[in-house]
Amino acid sequence: MAGYIGRFAPSTTGPLHAGSLVAALASWLDARAHGGRWLVRIEDVDRPRCVPGADRAILAQLAACGLLPDAPPLHQSQRGTRYRQALDALLAAGHAYPCGCSRRDIETALAKAGQPRPRGSELVYPGTCRGGLQGKPARAWRFRIPDSMPNGAAAGISSSRHATFSVANDEGDELDWFDRRLGSQRQNVAREVGDFVLLRADGLWAYQLAVVVDDADQGVTDVVRGADLADNTPRQILLQRALQVPTPRYLHTPLVLGANGEKLSKQNGARAIETGMPAAAHAALATAAAVLGLPPHAGPTAAALAAWVDAWRALYNPRSQ
Ligand code: GLU
């Protein structure tokens, strides 16, 4: 497809593991299956969680697997000026506001409202500072979720065919969006997430803002990433609309689960994939391909990748064959 731009956007919290290789391979295959470009974006905006040198290690692992980006990687740590411009634009248009609440303040407000703190999930911000800081110093900046959300096409903002708002109901508007693997999705962002953070109290840019600004600036047409990020998508679509940038198509890949049944991560023992020898790199790729439902291939890796591009096209993009 002419104009296709895809990307793989690893956080530099460590080298690639079996789970992150699935997202890398899927995004590469989708770009190749569309005759498009494939970019790598180094998501090193959360400095305290970043491991020095992980960006180089990830790029070396990708190269050993035959996954080579079509342009030099972009580093989010270099992009503060653009994120600031985006936040200023959102503030000027009334889509963002400063918040003076600590975590404790939010917990207290939620308890008062009879909404006990959900275990193990983010707090839904009760909107305390929506109307102003009431003398408190600003700590963080939040996105103001629209009270009622116009249909994207009617508002003349979104270029997406898929992301439209359904009609309002008693609990506020739901955002409907489409995933190329999971099908129709919907989320009531106001109720399930609340006004979310764009610039954190520790001065770090939030993932939601960085990812939307970067996808737009890089002209990304297709986001292919792990299913753990699917429920972030409605927040990103709201930000795209507020910033008046296009909404890409989305495809969220199956997750690789760790021994505890949770998404594989460094915290639950994910080991770096072994790519030192060609056979090891091929084995890692073959495991990732199996997670994506692609047939086994004995190699060599270049031949396997070519076969998987065809298999991918048949699975996820049958009309373009
Ligand atoms: N940096 C994120 C991660 O490694 C992925 C972000 C994205 O693909 O939107 O989980």
- pLDDT surpasses 80 at 220: yes
**Residue 250, Cβ density class (10 Å: 0-12 exposed, 13-18 middle, ≥19 buried):** buried
- Taking the alpha carbons at both ends of the chain, their separation in whole angstroms is 11
Mean pLDDT of 215-237: 97
User: 1 pLDDT band (50/70/90 cuts)?
Assistant: low
Q: How far apart are CA 246 and CA 240, in angstroms?
A: 6
pLDDT of residue 270: 83
pLDDT of residue 259: 76
pLDDT of residue 148: 67
Q: What is the pLDDT of residues 186-201, one digit of tens each?
A: 999 999 999 999 999 9
Q: What is the pLDDT of residues 137-180, one digit of tens each?
A: 999 999 999 976 554 433 333 334 333 443 333 345 899 999 99
Helix axes 301-316, 18-33, angle to 10 degrees: 70
Beta strand ranges found along 27-152 (DSSP E): 37-42, 74-75, 96-99, 140-143
Residues 44, 197, 124: CA angle, nearest 5 degrees? 125
Q: What is the pLDDT of residues 81-102, one digit of tens each?
A: 999 999 999 999 999 999 999 9
Residue 65 alpha carbon to ligand 1 centre in Å: 19
- pLDDT surpasses 50 at 321: no
Are 174 and 186 contacting, i.e. CB atoms less than 8 angstroms apart?
yes
Mean per-residue pLDDT of the chain: 89
pLDDT of residue 2: 63
- pLDDT surpasses 60 at 297: yes
Q: How far apart are CA 295 and CA 288, in angstroms?
A: 11
Q: How far apart are CA 217 and CA 214, in angstroms?
A: 5
Please name the residues in contact with 107: beta carbons below 8 A apart, sequence gap of 6 or more: 117, 123
Query: Atom 6, ligand 1: which residue's CA is nearest?
Result: 9
Residue 11 alpha carbon to ligand 1 centre in Å: 6
List phi, psi (to 5°) of 62: -60, -45
What percent of the chain clears pLDDT 90, i.e. is strictly above it?
Answer: 77
- pLDDT surpasses 80 at 105: yes
Q: Which of 7, 51, 58, 207 to mutate to test the pocket of ligand 1 (most atoms within 8 A of CB)?
A: 207
Residue 133 alpha carbon to ligand 1 centre in Å: 32
- pLDDT surpasses 90 at 250: yes
Residue 9 alpha carbon to ligand 1 centre in Å: 5
pLDDT of residue 257: 83
Please name the residues in contact with 266: beta carbons below 8 A apart, sequence gap of 6 or more: 13, 14, 17
Question: How many residues are listed for the chain in this entry?
Answer: 321
Nearest-atom index, ligand 1, CA of 232: 9
Residues with CB under 6 Å of ligand 1 are 9-11, 43, 211, 225, 229
pLDDT of residue 260: 79
Q: How far apart are CA 234 and CA 237, in angstroms?
A: 5
Scan for tokens 């050993």, then name that residue.
64
